[in-house]
Amino acid sequence: MKDYYYFLGISQDASDEDIKKAYRKLSLKYHPDKNENDDFFADRFREIQEAYEMLSDPSKRKAYDQNLESHQRSFRYNIPPAIKTFTANKIHAKKGEEIIISWQTSNADVVKVLPFGLEKPYGERIFKITEFKDGKFQLLLHATNSLLHKTVVQGITITEVFENDTDRFKNTVDEMFKPQPRTAVNKTGQPKIVMLFWGIIILAIALYFLIKEFI
C-alpha cells in the first residue's frame, strides 16, 4: 500500500495547511518544467500529485487512513527493511544494449529503483541505456519501512563499453560539447569545453600578472 504521507514528507496527523505547504514545496522542486527529460523527477512529481489529491480531500483521506491503519497492523513494521538481492545480468554494456535487473526486498512498504521510480518489493525490469554519464550508469535500490523511518540503499554501476577507439573518442568529444546541469559554478549550463576554455584564459591571466610582478 502506498504511503502518501511519506511521499509528502509529513506525519499522519498533519493539518490541511501542512499538506498544502508540503505539496507546494515539493511540486516546485520536482516539476517537469524545471527538470526536462528526467524520468526520475517526472515520476516523483506524479507521486506528489497523487498523494495530494488523496490527502487534500477529507472523505478520501478518512477512508485512506482507515485502510492504512489496517495495513500497518497486518504488516511486520517492527522489523527493519532489508535488500535480499539486487543484480544485473551485466555490469559492462554498450549504449543501446539491453540490461536486465532483478531485486528482492523484505519488510519494506515503499520500494524504488532509481532512476525508474516506484516498484514492487520484488521484480525484474528490462531496459536499454541510452546515455552514460562519464562512462557510467548508476542504479539505486531504495527499500523503506516508512513507519520505522528506515531506508536501506544498494547500488549497481554499469560501465560503458566501446566498439573501438573511434567510438570512445567520439563519446568523449560529445561529452565535452554537451550542455551540463546548472550549478553554482556553472549557472548557465555551459558545455565542459567552454568551462575549460575560460579556465585556461583565467589561468593565463593569472600567470601573466604573476610573471609581470617578478619582472
pLDDT tens sequence across 80-139: 899 999 999 999 998 889 999 999 998 888 899 999 988 888 888 999 998 898 889 999
The domain locations on the chain are 4-78, 82-163
List the alpha helices (DSSP H) in the chain.
Answer: 4-8, 16-30, 39-55, 58-74, 165-177, 192-214
Q: What are phi and psi of 186, to 5 degrees?
A: -110, 75
Q: How far apart are CA 179 and CA 191, in angstroms?
A: 4
Nearest to 51 by CA among 26, 32, 28: 26
Superfamily of domain 82-163: Macroglobulin (MG2) domain (2.60.40.1930)
Question: What CATH architecture applies to the domain 4-78?
Answer: Orthogonal Bundle (1.10)
Reported pTM: 0.48
pLDDT of 12 above 80: yes
